[in-house]
Amino acid sequence: MSTRRKGFRVLALLLIAVMSFSFAALPPAVPFAHAGSSDLSGLADRAANYLYNEFVREGAKNGDSSVGSYAVWTLTQAGVDVSAWLHDGTSLKDAVIEIITQDIADPEVSVKVLAQDLLAAQALERQDLAEELLEVLKNREQSTGGFDYNVYSDMPAYDLLGRSGKLDAMNTDYARNYILSTQNKVYASIPEAVYESVYGSWGMSWDGVFYPDFITTAQAIRALSYLDPLKEDPEIRAAVDLGLQWLKKQQKEDGSFAVSDWEDPLINTVEMVATLEVLEIDPSSLTSNTGKSPVDYLIGNALNPDGSFGTSKNAMDATWALWGYWLLGGRVQNQLFMEPTSASLSVGEKVYFKSMLNGSDVTQDAVWTVGEQSIASVAYGLVTGLKAGTTVVSAAYGGLTGSAVLTVKSPVPPGGTSTYTVEIAVVGMDGELLYGPGPVTISAGSRWGMTALGALDATDLPYSMSDQWPDFIESIAGQAGSGMAGWCYVVNGNIPSVAAAKYDVRDGDRIIWYYSKDINEPPPKWDDLVKRAASGTVSPSAAVEEIADLLTDLEKSKLTPGEVITGIGDLLDQLGAAEATEELKSKLAEAVNALSLRLAKIPDEALSVRTDGATAKVEVDGDAIKNQVSAVKSAVTLAEKLEQIGVNEVGNLALEQIVVKLPTELASQKGFTVELPAEAGEELVSANLGLAVEGPEVSLSLPPEVLKKACDTAPNLAGLELAVARREPSKLNPFKGASVVGNVAFDLEANTITAEGKKESLKGSFSKKVTVTLSLEGIDLGGIDRGRLAVYRQKGDGSWEFVGGSLSADEKSYSFETDHLSVYSLMEFQNPFKDVTSHWARETIELMAMRLIARGISEDSFAPDQKLSRAQFAAFLVRALDVEEETPQVRTFSDVPPDHWGYRAIEAAFREGLVAGTGAGRFEPERAIKREEMAVILAAVLKRNGIATALTDTQRDEVLKGYGDSDRISEWAKEGLAVCVSKGIIKGRAEAALAPLGSATRAEAVVVLENLLRLLGKL
């Protein structure tokens, strides 16, 4: 815990000890005893049973809708031994420990998941992992409170930390203030909503409207309760009561809770039960107008006939249901296992499964079924393989179901061998040989077994299956089917009538896969392919001609970049030992240039543009992005081959981003949005590629880290959106001295879109900056001082922040970088201060005023020679160092009330460790700051930024000895003043006078701050 004051140390230590004990002694929620405990345990059995089968089928994954860390914690609380659950021979315990280890090393994992990992590590008695996770969480906490700038991640993290008993390891002042500040205290009715008011709830605003969230509100109430275990904080008690009243209003007739129809009432109801338990309120006492309580709902309405729970019917529902039953006193008493949990056999073979209930064999009494009856049959646990494929074998007993994964392989051929050697050739769309003709070995145990598809798989050529037609090939080596054209196969000259995955081949068969453009065109003949292959390597001159043809087809859009890359790669492979000629290298360099241009830009036909009044919506085809990403990956391999034979500039193929170039017609619109599917965004992230959107007026370049943050933000992500809207300069209210240049002002926003169509703006700062380029085409810069041109960001409260940027050499664009999206405008600054025109510090004052670091005492006066107050210096300092001003719930200094003009800056400077009080809880904001005081503060800033500041006594005295008044320097200020003098930050007022006890002037302050920023590399 942190304290705000240094005084009263004995009392403070006692308070810390008491509060630390209170946090440490606070146990996890202890379940109330409820009637019908046998029913609750039976339901707990069913919930655990659902999670067991999900784990057997899918394995362990982190995420609310999977069996991962949070499910493990819940199962362990309910009495389940997760080390006994197996998937592919690995226990759920070991799988989750591995997941936790990976999460610790991944800086992009949300704090919600890390906090779930913490609970799981504690439940699995892995204190080492728990300590590592706690350290990561402590480092992720922001000084403004929260972690990820997202209540949907931050609030559950605080709640989970409270459950783990480790919330006191965080800065509890930050946590308290953050949670209290995010509660909605504004009464507001919202149209098209099933709830009357948001007052008292927690949630998030979107497009100017606040949307409350039931789960977040429940989590916030619990977190606050953990922060105030003795119920002594009146603000927390008031917030908890207000939030609880809002939760109660959401109760439905059946006893459940839901804010809107699309919400899952089971999740909300369990969250309510958990909240009531923490508040020591019996959940059965909270009834609807029909007399139904949340306990009634969980016992009578949560379980579905198919054994799933809730309306989503997934692992998340089962996990929350189990948590709820445990909170109400239920325990898992019966578990139905399958032995083994997975098995593999060939067609015609048999395998025996056992169904075990709490260690007792119930195989003969269970009801057995197979998911896909054409793959296998089952009777009393004895399974017979019927055809190749994968399915699930299930046994039902006593209301529980056990599942096992069954893989049936192609039959082992006569003679007992489990492998065949077949010959195969793969012919591309232009008749080129992509593989063979040559032998491959196929195995009954491989993914596709001894089939025609198994033979293709054995070539190691990349291929993909059709989403629309199961078991059919979509593309091979980057060549995808289109229209009536696509991939076919023949075996021994015959065209089979079944999918390749179901056509069994025999030893010595000859298989040809070929790209067919015409259904009437006969397939290639094996002997012809053998002759072609036997003709030897491709000559350099022939390769030049082939590459020229490929580039022509690329130019005419007959071939995609991926197909051209594959074709060139194959030609290089066929060169053999032939030496690449200069002609060939030149043609390959031409290909590199052509491909780099095509690879970087998404094809225009992949964009769907719709206008709606003054705005336009651009939808990007997800498959086009996926194909482009695949081609970029292939280009890296091609670049390596080209580099080996001496082709120059192959680095152009190593792209860092994919470009979406918007039509120039959008310049007439007031704004536009660009939307792409979530899968496409994830594809870019997996390839470490950014996304650039080039509009006629605004272009943005988003690094992969920003895309990853977007993909990780929403739990049910369906799409990503980038929105750009032109802002009217007349409505921007620029600061004094600034004027908008050429109406260049835009609102930039990045949003996530859920499957339900809900949009959420990305909050907080990005780990990597976005590059924004503003077009200046048609804008006359005549008469504008280029040195006074800069981009500024308008904050939510209407104030402005300096961003900077640079003008292009041709003066047709202006670019800047930012770590979050907002309203930005290009402005010219003109000095508004009449009293600095002939002052010695004029240039510095104008520079710092332009950067919004130095502000005047009035609109047209700076008062450069006026004494600088401590409050003014704190304000200058936080602006210079880009420290966000803040308004805490409780003020730090008794003489700086919230209505003081410098309150927010002083609080921010204090919390950042830049300034301190003068004792007895005071700051003395209006007292003039001495030059030696200013020096000590600046020396501390240097040290915080990694600048070496240590001086020996001899070095210190050497620096100061040239000043006749050095003996007047206070002892505590000597080192700081010597550091600033040695670094050139502070100079004497006269050649031999430092004036350490003299009051610093406003002009002196901006000069030393300019020197500081230049030393830090920020100017």
Rounded to an integer, what distance in angstroms lies between the CA atom of residue 330 and that of residue 303?
15
Listed residues 353, 382, 409: the one ending a domain? 409
* Whether residues 493 and 344 fall in one domain: no
Q: What is the pLDDT of residue 666?
A: 83
Closest by CA position to 248, among listed 218, 211, 209: 218
Tell me the C-alpha distance between 956 and 965, whole Å.
Answer: 15
Q: Which residues contact 498 (CB under 8 A, 6 or more apart)?
A: none
What's the pLDDT tens digit per position in 619-668? 999 888 998 999 999 999 899 989 888 888 888 888 899 999 998 888 88
* pLDDT digits 0-9 by tens, 327-337: 999 999 999 98
User: What three-state secondary structure class fits 801?
Assistant: strand
**Predicted pLDDT at 417:** 55
- 470 by DSSP, 3-state: which? coil
The residue-averaged pLDDT of 930-936 equals 93
Tokens 């030149």 correspond to: 586
- The confidence score (pLDDT) of residue 517 equals 86
pLDDT higher than threshold 80 for residue 617: yes
Mean pLDDT in residue range 471-488 = 88
Mean pLDDT score, 728-754: 89
Do 816 and 757 belong together in one domain? yes
* Chain position carrying tokens 């000597």: 974
Q: Which domain holds residue 623?
A: 539-606+619-628
pLDDT over 50 at 21, yes or no: no
Average pLDDT over residues 794-815: 91
Contacts of 664 (CB under 8 A, 6+ apart): 696
Last residue of a domain, one of 829, 851, 874: 829
Q: CATH code at 454?
A: 2.170.130.30
Region of poorest pLDDT, from 62-66, 410-414, 588-592, 697-701: 410-414
Residue 191, pLDDT above cutoff 80: no
Q: Indicate if 973 and 857 belong to the same structural domain.
A: yes
Average pLDDT over residues 879-898: 88
Mean pLDDT taken over the chain: 86
Same domain (yes/no): 786, 890:
no
Residue 164 counted as domain residue: no
Q: Looking at the 3D structure of the chain, how many domains does it have?
A: 5
Which tokens belong to 512? 């040809």
Average pLDDT over residues 791-811: 91
- What's the confidence (pLDDT) of residue 482? 85
Residues 529 and 556 in one domain: no
- Report the distance separating Cα 190 and Cα 211, nearest Å: 9
Residue type, 182: T
| pLDDT score for 24 | 32
Distances (CA, A) of 860 to 737, 835, 871: 9, 8, 20
Residues 6 or more apart whose Cβ sits within 8 Å of residue 560:
478, 554, 627, 631
Q: Per residue, what are the HEC states of 377-438?
A: EEECCEEEECCCEEEEEEEEECCEEEEEEEEEECCCCCCCCCEEEEEEEEECCCCCEEEEEE
Rg (CA), the chain: 35
Average pLDDT of 129-143? 91
Task: Return the CATH number at 663.
Answer: 2.60.220.30
Q: Are residues 876 and 942 in the same domain?
A: yes
Per-residue burial over 230-268, b = 16 or more CB atoms within 10 Å of its CB, e = otherwise = eeeeeebeebbebbbebbeebbbebbbbbbeeebbbbbb
Give a three-class secondary structure readout of 305-350: CCCCECCCCCHHHHHHHHHHHHHCCCCCCCCEEEECCEEEEECCCE
Q: Are 1004 and 909 found together in one domain?
A: yes
The full length of the chain comes to 1019
Question: What is the reported pLDDT for 412?
Answer: 57
Final residue in a domain of this structure, among 501, 533, 565 = 533
Whether residue 195 is contained in a domain is answered as no
67, part of any domain:
no
What value does the mean pLDDT take over residues 596-604? 88
| pLDDT tens figures, 336-383 | 988 888 888 888 888 899 999 998 999 999 899 998 888 899 999 999
Domain presence at residue 880: yes
Angle at 485 between CA 482 and CA 490, to 5 degrees: 135
**Gap between the Cα atoms of 85 and 80, Å rounded:** 9
Task: Determine the Cα–Cα distance for residues 904 and 912; give it in Å rounded to an integer.
Answer: 12
pLDDT at 301: 93
Determine what percent of the chain is predicted with pLDDT higher than 70. Answer: 92
In a domain, 737, yes or no: yes
Q: Are residues 528 and 544 in the same domain?
A: no
Asked if residue 258 belongs to a domain, the reply is no
In a domain, 683, yes or no: yes
Co-location of 952 and 936 in the same domain: yes
Rounded-to-integer distance, Cα 359 and Cα 770, Å: 58
- Is 51 within the bounds of a domain? no
Rounded to 10°, the helix 92-105/111-123 angle is 140
Supply the DSSP string of 804-835, one letter for each residue.
Answer: E-EE-TTSSEEEEEESS--EEEEEEE----GG
Please report the pLDDT score of residue 161 as a whole number. Answer: 95
| Confidence band, pLDDT 50/70/90 cuts, at residue 537 | low
Return the pLDDT at 390: 83
Contact 697, 813 (CB under 8 A): no
Closest CA relative to residue 129, chosen from 140, 116, 141, 142: 116
Q: What span, in angstroms and rounded, lies between the C-alpha atoms of 51 and 78?
A: 13
Instruction: Check residues 814 and 767 and name the one with the higher pLDDT.
Output: 814
Q: Is the peptide bond before 28 cis (omega within 30 degrees of 0)?
A: no
pLDDT at 560 over 80: yes
Task: Residue 379: give its domain's CATH number.
Answer: 2.60.40.1080
Same domain, yes or no: 428 and 404? no
Q: What tens digit of pLDDT does each residue of 441-471 get?
A: 898 878 888 899 999 999 989 999 887 777 7
Note whether 435 and 552 are same-domain residues: no
Q: Are residues 772 and 878 in the same domain?
A: no
Residues 6 or more apart whose CB falls under 8 angstroms from that of 881 comprise 912, 914, 941
Record the tokens describing residue 190, joined without a space: 């919202």
